Copies of this chain bind each other. A is one copy, B any other.
Amino acid sequence: MDFEFSDKVERLRAQLSDFMRFHVEPANHDWHREIAAGRYPLPLLERLKSRAFSEDLWNLFLPGLGHDQPGQRLSNLEYAPLAEIMGRSHWAPEVFNCSAPDTGNIELLQQFGTPEQRAQWLDPLLLGEIRSCFAMSEPDTASSDARNIQTTIRRDGDAYVINGRKWFITGALHPNCKVAIVMGVTGEQLEANSTERHSMLLVPMDTPGLEIVRNIPIMHYHSPEGHCELLFRDVRVPLSNLLGAEGKGFRLAQDRLGPGRVHHCMRTIGQCELALELMCERALERKAFGKHLSEFGNLQDWIAESRLEIDQARLLVLQAAHRMDRAGNAAARIDVSAIKVVAARLQTRVVDRAMQVFGAMGLTPDTPLSYLWTWGRAMRFLDGPDEVHLRVVSRAELAKARLALGNNAWYFVPPPGLAAPR
């Protein structure tokens, strides 16, 4: 057991922090100005991406070791502290080609893509030439169980035909988004609970019949990349656009979600660290009733509680990453559920305190806090609501207990009256 990062990771952390400071930070106001003007700031991003690529701060998370692809080939555990740094700014991951949902889609294509699919989609994704989205969630479907998905994929001659509605499809409005991985039900309707009914298709965004209905605001926030509602009306793609095998979509999705969730969690940790730093700064600078806020015992408690909570959550996230590296995504399923719950709650709690220290300014878009807070709240649903993940954890615990029933009987001390017959 060792709690220190390797030298390699420490070196990358330092390099990435410097990059953030010397290149991302100076571009931040321009980024926001462009977005406010309704333009996605591609030129600014391309400049930064070139630089990150040339410094080899690129595709920091990239499994599929056998391939001749750019990237650092880090494990989940090694990637975690870097995701934490990038996650502090919500637009920074794109600079390093580490954006969700691209990392997950890259993973799928690396593992299951045909050579043609890889040439067409994976290579430009790895080079940051295009972006992608992942279309799974649906309105009117309990998203907590992917088996419920209803979008249909029907075979019609040499094409698949897709019909259905998807929502919260992140990144669909990015100007570089060229392809969606779409999950739907193929073949006949077998039994409803089956995990062998779904398939994934690669669907170019400009395919006729694919309509972006709206960019759904999340707690009133319109993401510039979009969390979109998509309508598929008789959308046709060639059979060769099938990703993996028919009926294997559910398994592919399960595998894909693990690392994505861990990375989300690690970015959350970075965002909570940022909120804590802002809270401390504000407390040191602002006065009320003749004292600095930092001198008030209740604010001090908020700071300390936040530190305790962040440090604990980070360790749990790192342990989950470690287990995923060691035992595989499936074996770490319960660990991932655990950190999913911990991280999402952490964010609303820590940011809530920070906002309170900022007073009314904390409500405005002038600080990053209102975004971090509402996004934290959204994280309690996205990738499955807290309750579903708590259920996974409790069922695992109860299963262990069932095997050990009676082992702890010796701790019970018989009361004096026990001898008497009942």
Chain A positions near chain B (C-beta within 8 angstroms): 1-6, 9, 25-26, 28-29, 32, 36, 77, 88-89, 137, 139-140, 142-145, 165, 167-168, 211, 213-214, 216-222, 229, 231, 274, 276-278, 280-281, 283-289, 294, 296-301, 303-305, 307-308, 311-313, 315-316, 318-319, 322-323, 338, 341-342, 352, 355-356, 359-368, 370-371, 373-374, 377-378, 380-382, 385-388, 390-391, 393-395, 397-398, 400-402, 404-408, 410-417, 420, 422
Contact = CB atoms under 8 A, between A and B. Distances in A.
Contact of A387 (B219, B298, B385, B393): B298
23 contacts: A3-B319, A3-B322, A25-B410, A32-B413, A142-B287, A143-B360, A211-B420, A213-B420, A219-B219, A220-B371, A220-B374, A278-B408, A284-B401, A289-B391, A297-B300, A301-B390, A303-B398, A304-B391, A304-B393, A359-B381, A360-B381, A363-B381, A367-B412
Contacts of A88: 411
Contacts of A6: 1
Nearest to A298: B297
Contact of A410 (B28, B213, B218, B411): B28
A140 B286 CA distance: 9
A171 B41 CA distance: 34
A196 to B, nearest CB: 19
- In the complex, the 8 A-B pairs of residues with the closest C-beta atoms, listed nearest first: A280-B401, A213-B417, A312-B312, A315-B315, A220-B220, A297-B297, A296-B297, A297-B298
A410 B221 CA distance: 21
Contacts of A298: 297-298, 300-301, 387
A229 to B, nearest CB: 6
Contacts of A145: 288-289
B356 A397 contact: no
A36 B341 CA distance: 35
B398 A322 contact: no
A315 B314 CA distance: 10
Given A288-B145, A305-B390, A368-B411, A1 B77 contact: yes
B219 A370 contact: yes
A378 B358 CA distance: 12
- Copies of this chain, complex-wide, total 4
A3 to B, nearest CB: 5
Contacts of A313: 312
Contacts of A304: 341, 390-391, 393-394, 397
Contacts of A307: 338, 393-394, 397
Contact of A398 (B26, B220, B294, B400): B294
A281 B318 contact: no
A107 to B, nearest CB: 22
Contact of A363 (B5, B218, B222): B218
Contacts of A401: 277, 280-281, 283-284
Given A307-B393, A366-B414, A381-B363, A288 B220 contact: no
